[in-house]
């Protein structure tokens, strides 16, 4: 299938996708409830969109396209409230978090959809192990060349989004010692990682995608599991490294940060991206996954090692004028507080230490999703 023409969208508009856990309230394990949940939600207007995911214990919700942070927060809260009301009718809880702390992948059921069956047939057990939960953020781009520029200019900021969203410290009942264990599951797929270093859409379309299509390995952009990928049919870039946060307010703040950061980068405030910037990419990504806000990254152009927390706080300060202009000042204030005091992975580990059970972590996630307080 030929790559769609890159659709021009309004620059710096944003949309959010959240993959959410469906939890049985009797045992706090994942529940194969998505067919019933989707059937119930289809009976009345839904604020945004809701779709199945690869296994029946998860769903994905999509916001509308927004130019401002405040309307995005309002819509995500309405989506949350609608989901909670449906869950209450089905006796099913909804939660964020990048992984469920103790579910067993072998017990998952693949959702009855042709693409999901195809993925399961190709990837075997990896498909069920892909019952992990991420937030994706789309940012509108004027054209394909600017989309590719942003794709690569953002490479040094990928650890920021991993650390600020990290909410997957436990897997299969064990503490992984990672803040974001979810991304290790994504990295198992052969077409994961980062996009090739191309800055012209014509080159990407002709010299990369067309050749990959000719190999028979890929048929569309959906076959790439990159950390950042272009979505030509939407006219966006899509950030895919974030764990699903425990609250929709945190999810909206991450989107507001990305929007302001793209504004800052498009004005030429940093050197042009280079392919050599990726020499430190996997190391920095690992640091953010393993240690979160306590990690240290190597800056790609100067090769200085800096504390990730300090780098995040410095970035939030640099881009503050762009955030204020876009109405996202509150988003940056929220994330600055997270950077200073710790995020969702820290809160989940703390409740486990205090209460001594993996079920207590799920209970915290359920409560946080229902209300951030």
pLDDT in tens, 42-70: 998 999 999 999 899 999 999 999 999 99
The pLDDT of residue 246 is: 98
> Is the pTM of the predicted complex or chain greater than 0.95?
yes
SS (H, E, C) the chain: CCCCCCCCCCCCCEEEEEEEEEEECCCCCECCCHHHHHHHHCCCCCCCEEEECCECCEEEEECCCECCHHHHHHHHHHHHHHHHHHHHHHCEEEECCCCCCCCCHHHCCECCCHHHHHHHHHHCHHHHHCCCCEEEEEEECCCHHHHHHHHHHHHHHHHHHHHHHCCECEECCEECCCCECHHHHHHCCCCEECCCCCCCHHHHHHHHHHHHHHHCCCCCHHHCEECEEEECCCCEEEEEEEECCCCHHHHHHHHHHHHHHHHHHHCCCCCCCCHHHHHHHHHHHHHHHHHHHHCEEECCCCCCEEEHHHHHHHHHHHCHHHHHHHCCHHHHHHHHHHHHHCCHHHHHHHHHHHHCCHHHHHHHHHHHHHCCC
Surface-to-core class of residue 212, CB atoms within 10 Å of its CB (0-12 exposed, 13-18 middle, 19+ buried): middle
**Spatial CA neighbour of 219 closest among 139, 113, 148, 115:** 115
The pLDDT of residue 24 is: 97
pLDDT in tens, 261-271: 999 999 999 99
The pLDDT of residue 103 is: 95
Tell how strand 192-193 and strand 228-231 pair up: unpaired
CB 90 within 8 A of CB 36: yes
Identify the segments of the chain with pLDDT beneath 70. Answer: 1, 373
* Tokens encoding 270: 């940093």
User: Domains in the chain, please, with CATH?
Assistant: 14-370 (3.30.590.20)
Tell how strand 225-226 and strand 192-193 pair up: parallel
The pLDDT of residue 1 is: 67
How far apart CA 86 and CA 305 sit, in angstroms, is 48
Tell how strand 58-62 and strand 192-193 pair up: unpaired
pLDDT in tens, 278-331: 999 999 999 999 999 999 999 998 899 999 999 999 999 999 999 999 999 999
């Amino acid at each position: 299938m030929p790559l769609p023409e890159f659709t021009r969208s309004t620059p710096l508009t944003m949309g959010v996708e959240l993959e959410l856990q469906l939890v049985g309230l009797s045992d706090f394990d994942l529940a194969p409830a998505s067919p019933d949940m989707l059937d119930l939600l289809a009976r009345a207007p839904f604020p945004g969109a809701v779709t199945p995911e690869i296994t029946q214990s998860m769903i994905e919700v999509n916001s509308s396209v927004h130019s401002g942070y405040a309307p995005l927060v309002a819509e995500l809260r309405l989506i949350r409230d609608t989901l909670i009301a449906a869950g209450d009718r089905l006796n099913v809880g909804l939660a964020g978090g990048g992984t469920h702390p103790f579910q067993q992948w072998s017990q998952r059921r693949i959702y009855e959809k042709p693409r999901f069956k195809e993925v399961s047939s190709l990837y075997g057990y990896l498909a069920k192990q892909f019952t992990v939960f991420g937030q994706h953020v789309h940012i509108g781009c004027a054209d394909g060349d600017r989309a590719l520029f942003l794709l690569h200019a953002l490479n040094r900021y990928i650890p920021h989004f991993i650390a600020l969203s990290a909410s997957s410290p436990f897997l299969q009942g064990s503490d992984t010692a990672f803040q974001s264990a979810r991304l290790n599951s994504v990295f198992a797929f052969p077409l994961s990682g980062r996009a090739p270093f191309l800055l012209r859409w014509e080159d990407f379309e002709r010299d990369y995608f067309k050749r990959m299509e000719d190999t028979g390995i890929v048929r569309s952009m959906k076959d790439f599991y990159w950390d950042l990928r272009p979505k030509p049919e939407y006219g966006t870039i899509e950030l895919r490294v974030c764990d699903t946060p425990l609250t929709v307010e945190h999810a909206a703040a991450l989107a507001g940060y990305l929007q302001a950061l793209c504004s800052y980068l498009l004005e030429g405030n940093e050197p042009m991206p280079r392919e050599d910037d990726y020499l430190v990419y996997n190391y920095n990504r690992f640091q953010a996954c393993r240690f979160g806000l306590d990690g240290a990254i190597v800056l790609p152009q100067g090769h200085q090692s800096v504390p990730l927390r300090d780098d995040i706080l410095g970035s939030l300060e640099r881009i503050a004028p762009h955030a204020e202009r876009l109405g996202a000042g509150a988003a940056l204030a929220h994330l600055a507080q997270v950077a200073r005091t710790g995020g969702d992975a820290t809160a989940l580990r703390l409740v486990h230490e205090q209460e001594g059970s993996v079920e207590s972590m799920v209970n915290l996630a359920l409560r946080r999703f229902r209300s951030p307080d």
